[in-house]
Structures are given as C-alpha cells and as structure tokens.
A and B are shown apart, each in its own frame.
Chain A
C-alpha cells in the first residue's frame, strides 16, 4: 500500500523568510508523480508544484521548489520569501502510473506566515 506522511502538523514562519515542509512516502513502484497542493482558509485547493519520479531535476515554480530524494522517498517543499498569502494548509500527494487514479494524500501541514 502507498502511504504519504507529513510529520509537521503545524508550522509558522515570518514574512520574507524561507520555510521547508517535509513529506515522505512509501511505495514499491518506480514510475509515479508527486504533488504539493495548497488550500488557503475557506478557499479552493490548488496545485502548487508537481514532480515526475523519472526526472532527477527538482521542480521549481517561482518561489516554490522541491527537494526530491528518490532513494530516501522524500519530497519536501521549500517556500522562499514567504508572503502572507502563503498561509494555508499544504498537502503532499502521490499517484503511481499504471495503478488506479487514486491520489494518496498526507494529512497536511498548516502553515502560518506572520507579519
């Protein structure tokens, strides 16, 4: 069975600083995708960044980047220059190619950016 673990239920960071959210996963598959989703308070869940397992290069989207360590099954999210609008729940998720279309989610990390 595939599992995703987010070990930090809550985190906080000062505006303009950098924060890293942790995610580990467990799978025996070799072809899979990893995602970080963001859910602001009372707002829609949106995709932040995705990583294909076959790509060694870490994905980057503006201030968001990942540190993908395939051997360690680790997929952390780094947010640089944190902004107040980054305050949200962040979910790490996994799907493997060839299996069902089920996304496996972690339980989430609540990030608060303080002014």
Chain B
C-alpha cells in the first residue's frame, strides 16, 4: 500500500511565525501535491511538483512556498503565518496521470 505521511496531525502556531509542513511518500512517485481544504470551498491546490527541485504554482500559491530536495519529500512553507492560513492541509502523491494518494492531513491553527 502507498503510504503518504504528514509530519503533524495537529499544529498550532502564532501569527508571523515561519511554519514548515512536511510530507513523505514511500512509493517513488514522481508527483507530489499540497492542497488546503476549507468548508464549502473543497480542495484547492497550492503547489505541486513533477520531480526533484521542480515546482509549479497551483491555484492559491500566495503566502506559501515549497521545497523538494529529495523525491520522497515535499515540504510546504508558510513564510510568515497569518490567521487566514488556518486550515486543513493535505499532501498527495501519484505517478503521472494516476490517482493521487493522500496523507491524513494537518489541521493547522494560526493564533
């Protein structure tokens, strides 16, 4: 079974902090994704990556950056956290044009 592991299930941070969300997959997938999920808005893509050191902006990249130094790891960075970034964050991975496999999610609260 594909395993996508997100480093934290719940996280509480303060406004202005730099926040790192980590995601690791164990199936050698080329593609990795970061989404945020908010009630009534569904899933919105923040960033995705086709390969190591490659990244592309999704629909809502503002206020976020990403890093993919190794194939199995994809990090989401909130450079200066704000309260409107309080949300559920989901990481996913896939082979090209195959279904995405999701992690358990990180519920992030910014106070």
B-contact bits for A9-36, CB 8 A (1 contact / 0 none): 1000000000000000000000001010
Binds A, one of B20-28, B62-70, B73-81, B99-107: B99-107
Q: Please, how many angstroms separate the alpha-carbon atoms of A46 and B97 in the complex?
A: 16
Q: Is A61 an interface residue (CB 8 A)?
A: no
Contact B40 A97 (CB under 8 A): no
Assuming A91-B42, A107-B40, A107-B42, is B99 touching A101 (CB within 8 A)? no
Q: In whole Å, how far is A17's beta carbon from the nearest beta carbon of chain B?
A: 26
Q: Please, how many angstroms separate the alpha-carbon atoms of A24 and B41 in the complex?
A: 17
Contact A101 B50 (CB under 8 A): yes
Q: In whole Å, how far is B39's beta carbon from the nearest beta carbon of chain A?
A: 9
Q: In whole Å, how far is A24's beta carbon from the nearest beta carbon of chain B?
A: 15
B-contact bits for A37-75, CB 8 A (1 contact / 0 none): 100000111110010000000000000000000000000
Q: In whole Å, how far is A113's beta carbon from the nearest beta carbon of chain B?
A: 20
Cβ-defined partner of B102 (8 Å) among A45, A100, A101, A106: A45
Contact B97 A102 (CB under 8 A): no
Q: Which residue of A lies closest to B104 (CB)?
A: A44
Contact B105 A47 (CB under 8 A): no
Q: Which residue of A lies closest to B43 (CB)?
A: A105
Q: In whole Å, how far is B87's beta carbon from the nearest beta carbon of chain A?
A: 15
Cβ-defined partner of B56 (8 Å) among A50, A100, A105: A100
Q: Is B61 an interface residue (CB 8 A)?
A: no
Contact B42 A44 (CB under 8 A): no
Contact B99 A102 (CB under 8 A): no
Q: Please, how many angstroms separate the alpha-carbon atoms of A47 and B92 in the complex?
A: 12
Contact A97 B45 (CB under 8 A): no
Contact A33 B48 (CB under 8 A): no
Q: Please, how many angstroms separate the alpha-carbon atoms of A33 and B99 in the complex?
A: 9
- Which residues of chain A are within 8 angstroms of B19 by Cβ–Cβ distance? none
Q: Is A103 an interface residue (CB 8 A)?
A: yes
Contact B97 A95 (CB under 8 A): yes
Contact B41 A33 (CB under 8 A): no
B: residues with CB less than 8 A from A are 31, 33, 40-43, 45, 48, 50, 56, 58, 90, 92, 94, 96-97, 99-105
